[in-house]
Structure 1
Amino acid sequence: MKTSTDELLVFVTVIDSGSMTAAAEKLQQTVSGVSRALSRLEHKLDTALVRRTTRRLDLTDEGELFLARARLILAAMEDAEASVKQRQERPSGRLRVDAASPFMLHCVAPHMTAFSARYPEIELALSSNERTVDLLEQKVDLALRIGVLQDSTLHARLLGTSRVRIIASPAYLAQHGEPRTPEALHQHRLIGFTAPEHLNRWPLRDGAQTSLKIKPGITASSGETLRQLALAGWGIARLADFMIAADIRAGRLVSLFDSVLLEERQPVNAVYYQSAALAGRVQCFLDFLAERVEL
């Protein structure tokens, strides 16, 4: 083997950081040391991995290929080291969890004090993304995803499903009236998603169709933004129970069309790579969520 793991780490860190200066700071090395390590790696491989300009670093085609393999190698080494250190009786170490903002805010964050009390040796790192993240690229151990999963090499565990409802605030309904039929929605202000487009089809019959395509007056990428808009009285929205059930119970939001709403449930899955080192931490985290979270 020509290359060392230190050189692989320097290469990946330079790309992820965007500059040698930022990489040097992250690795606690000198800029010249990082530059030499990268040059040494390219010399060993007899190819240029990075195009250097005064303003930026760009990967060559060979660099793109090598980066993907380097990430896998570093992840495997981290996994091997963690496997040796893991104590099954007391799960410990870092667990990096990613979820869409609404799920993180309503179903994860409120329970983390209790989780840390039960598993004090697990260090949590929580992140929120509205898009589907690449677990290896973003260095995420476990992602919680809402909706139907796409084909994937990831291991998945279904945590449950959450009923979709159509809701509005009492203030909006007092000002604009309550729509009595699906067709009447076209006369109201509707709140929709920027993407994906299928989220702007609501579970109401529209003639022969089993869903009603809406034309939103305002759109947002996050379900939590839609919720806040609905709470503020902007209009009518379609959201899952896991983020609005408490609002409905408290009277902050009103559920519409309950008698004619078609049954639609959003699956909630946890996805992760199979890993001996992570198995204990992932398992206890998922068991804890399944015990605590109401979908």
Structure 2
Amino acid sequence: MKTTLDELLAFSTVVASGSISAAAQQLGQTASGISRALSRLEEKLDVTLLQRTTRRLELTEEGNAFLTQARRILASVEEAEEQMRVRRQTPAGRLRVNAAAPFVLHAVVPLIKGFRERYPNIELELHSSDQIIDLIEQRTDVAIRIGPLRDSTLHARSLGSSCLRVLASPAYLAAHGVPDGVQALHQHGLLGFTQPETLNQWPLRHEHGDSFSILPSLHASSGETLRQLALEGAGIVCLADFMTHLDRGRGDLVQILAEHTVEVRQPIHAVYYRNTALTSRITCFLDYLSSELSTMA
């Protein structure tokens, strides 16, 4: 890359400030130094970026197009430098985290010991809610949300995703048999959600499509309740991997109809308001959570 960051900065500052002298003052350089930087940049790009007159500077069409990219590059560098500054700090203070109860129990709680050992000065406060909450009203710094995000003014960061699988306990399968196809599920006890109804659309390929609408014989509002019912042999369930990876590892729940299962991954996001005072705490927590979640996706 021939262009330097100093040249990009000189160019964008001249445009923002309206003159070479104003840019020089803002950057703590000489006007001649800024002028030379602009000339070098135009020479390297082999285009004219600014039309210079005795009274003003005016962007050319090429200059306007290049300015957008220059600003984007400078913003990315600034963000990277800020992240490094955050990492050098010692994060401290209270961090309030909200997530659905199953996610807190199966994804967050197992990580708390390691997180606190690494960041002993962060005071975590965990709250569980299966409903979408108002962060300000609930005095929450970070909320973890599973599934597609709604339009929001919140800042969002992807933490990964988690597969959905159709599962049953060995005891249930021994008593009722293993379904030999998707339609055979009609003869089995199915465990489903009270709401939203979309959670009762299982990712199973059949003759009418890639989504199978179930009619549960037993409903529950909580995924954790459904998990416990499945472990007790009450029926067949469809749950995300982050809830069941240990159950499957131990053989307490086994996947069925794998050959009919369509890969559907539920996105996992952290949402929060931009708050400089909280930046280091939020960044540390989400970095740690993201790295650990990959092992249970």
Where do residues 59-98 of structure 1 align in structure 2 (5 Å cutoff)? 89-98=89-98
Deviations 1:23-70 (A, max 9, x none): xxxxxxxxxxxxxxxxxxxxxxxxxxxxxxxxxxxxxxxxxxxxxxxx
Residue 88 of structure 1: how far off its partner (Å): 6.4
Distance 2:282 2:141 in 1: 8
Do the aligned partners of 2:206 and 2:260 also contact (CA within 8 Å) in 1?
no
Aligned residue for 1:281? 281
Aligned residue for 2:198? 198
Aligned residue for 2:260? 260
Aligned residue for 1:78? none
Tell me which structure has the larger Cα radius of gyration: 2
Aligned residue for 1:144? 144
Query: Aligned with 2:225: secondary structure?
Result: helix
Aligned residue for 1:189? 189
Do the aligned partners of 2:165 and 2:240 also contact (CA within 8 Å) in 1?
yes
Kindly provide the amino acid, as one letter, of the partner of residue 90 in structure 2.
R
- Structure 1 outlier segments of 4+, above 3 Å: none
Do the aligned partners of 1:169 and 1:232 also contact (CA within 8 Å) in 2?
yes
Any stretches of 5+ residues in structure 2 without a counterpart? 1-85
Query: Aligned with 1:259: secondary structure?
Result: helix
Kindly provide the amino acid, as one letter, of the partner of residue 117 in structure 2.
A
Do the aligned partners of 1:100 and 1:128 also contact (CA within 8 Å) in 2?
yes
Query: Aligned with 1:180: secondary structure?
Result: coil
Do the aligned partners of 1:91 and 1:280 also contact (CA within 8 Å) in 2?
yes
Residue 87 of structure 1: how far off its partner (Å): 11
In structure 2, do the counterparts of structure 1 residues 183 and 119 end up closer, same or farther at CA, with 3 Å as the change threshold?
A: same
- Larger mean CA deviation between 151-160 and 202-211 belongs to 202-211
Distance 1:208 1:260 in 2: 13
Deviations 1:142-179 (A, max 9, x none): 00111011111100001001110000000000001110
In structure 2, do the counterparts of structure 1 residues 251 and 276 end up closer, same or farther at CA, with 3 Å as the change threshold?
A: same
Where do residues 19-38 of structure 1 align in structure 2 (5 Å cutoff)? none
Kindly provide the amino acid, as one letter, of the partner of residue 278 in structure 1.
L
Calculate the aligned-residue CA RMSD, in Å. 1.4
What percentage of aligned pairs have identical amino acids?
A: 55
Aligned residue for 1:27? none
Kindly provide the amino acid, as one letter, of the partner of residue 201 in structure 1.
Q
Deviations 1:250-287 (A, max 9, x none): 11011011112011110000000011011110000000
Distance 1:292 1:204 in 2: 29
Residue 104 of structure 1: how far off its partner (Å): 0.4
Aligned length: 210
Residue 218 of structure 1: how far off its partner (Å): 1.0
Kindly provide the amino acid, as one letter, of the partner of residue 105 in structure 2.
L
Kindly provide the amino acid, as one letter, of the partner of residue 163 in structure 1.
C
Deviations 1:215-259 (A, max 9, x none): 001111111111100000000000011111211111101101111
Where do residues 48-63 of structure 1 align in structure 2 (5 Å cutoff)? none
Query: TM-score, structure 1 length as denominator?
Result: 0.69
Do the aligned partners of 1:100 and 1:144 also contact (CA within 8 Å) in 2?
yes
Query: TM-score, structure 2 length as denominator?
Result: 0.69
Aligned residue for 1:224? 224
Deviations 1:89-108 (A, max 9, x none): 11111100001111101110
Aligned residue for 2:291? 291
Pair 1:102-2:97 in alignment: no
Kindly provide the amino acid, as one letter, of the partner of residue 135 in structure 1.
L
Aligned residue for 1:177? 177
Pair 1:155-2:155 in alignment: yes
Any stretches of 5+ residues in structure 1 without a counterpart? 1-85
Aligned residue for 1:112? 112
- Larger mean CA deviation between 205-214 and 89-98 belongs to 205-214
Pair 1:270-2:252 in alignment: no
